[in-house]
Structure 1
Amino acid sequence: LFIDKIIGGAIPREFIPPIEAGIREAMETGVLAGYEMVDIAVVLIDGSFHEVDSSEIAFKIAGSMAFKEACQ
């Protein structure tokens, strides 16, 4: 379950789906020993972006990395 609670445009709307995709990918490949993780809720509450350097792939990677860090 992915819940977007971003308020005020902290992250532009077009970057929310790549964040979710990165999280889902990390859940599928697993954090511990490669086992899929299921029945988890993820809530996106804040973030930031850069006018020039932000991209969909950067946010996908960030979503994956944030999920893995949260699971440690």
Structure 2
Amino acid sequence: MKSQDGKYVGIDCGKKSLEVVRINTENLLERRQFGTTENGINSLLKWLTLNDIVGLGFLASLRANSSAPLLFGNLAL
């Protein structure tokens, strides 16, 4: 029996919407945009499959009494 190959999905969470790219089985890019509302996130979850390997990319800048931003990076699920 052939094992199921995972598809890689990247999600950019640093915008007013979720920008999503998935590499499909033909190695082509599928680009989608989802809202950050409950309905948008539910649509994203319905679009994802069990074999998808998801990576989240975000960049947040926090300033606490300092001129230097505190930066956060990437998370893979």
Q: Higher RCO, 1 or 2 (CA under 8 Å, sep at least 6)?
A: 1
Tell me the TM-score range normalised by the shorter chain. under 0.3
Name whichever structure is richer in strand by fraction: 2
Name whichever structure is richer in helix by fraction: 1
So what's the TM-score if we normalise by structure 1? 0.26
